[in-house]
Amino acid sequence: MPKLQDLPKPTTPDCVLDHAGILRVLPHRYPFLFVDRLLELEEGKRAVGIKNATFGEPHFVGHFPSDPVMPGVLQIEAIAQVSCLLILLSFDGLDEKRPAFIGIDKARFRAAVRPGDVLRIEVELVSFRRGMGTALGRILVGDKVACEAEILATMV
């Protein structure tokens, strides 16, 4: 896994990683990549990512045609992807490995996410031992919490 200093420098000055760096770290690709920029990274502790919800995303076509809303499961996936970035950029010895879900706890959906919203994805790493981790995450749209969950992952 590349170290942060070895990744392409962001073209946007207000972020730690832009799309080019994220694509070097995460295995996800469109239409299943749900983080556009990594704004903050405190190695081993916390990370903040951004996702711009746009009308062009395929899930908005059918969920729901007259009232598009980002599915909750995709919001959870966005939290998981920022958690992946946090883990993969924080710990040595994870080459050729990737985090995989083993559990989701305490998930709550508090506000709808719609096309045009900017999702601020905040993740805090609670523990990471022997290749297993727990992270608390939440998504804010403006100053409203849209989603929060506890993510459990293992390295595979």
Q: What is the DSSP letter of 63?
A: S
Active-site annotation holds for 28: no
Buried b (16+ CB within 10 A) or exposed e, 22-32: beebbebeeee
Residue 41 contacts residue 123 (beta carbons within 8 Å): no
From the list 19, 28, 59, 63, the catalytic residue is 63
E strands present in the chain: 37-42, 46-52, 99-109, 118-129, 132-141, 144-155
* Residue count (the chain): 156
Residue 126 contacts residue 135 (beta carbons within 8 Å): yes
Name the residues annotated as catalytic. 63
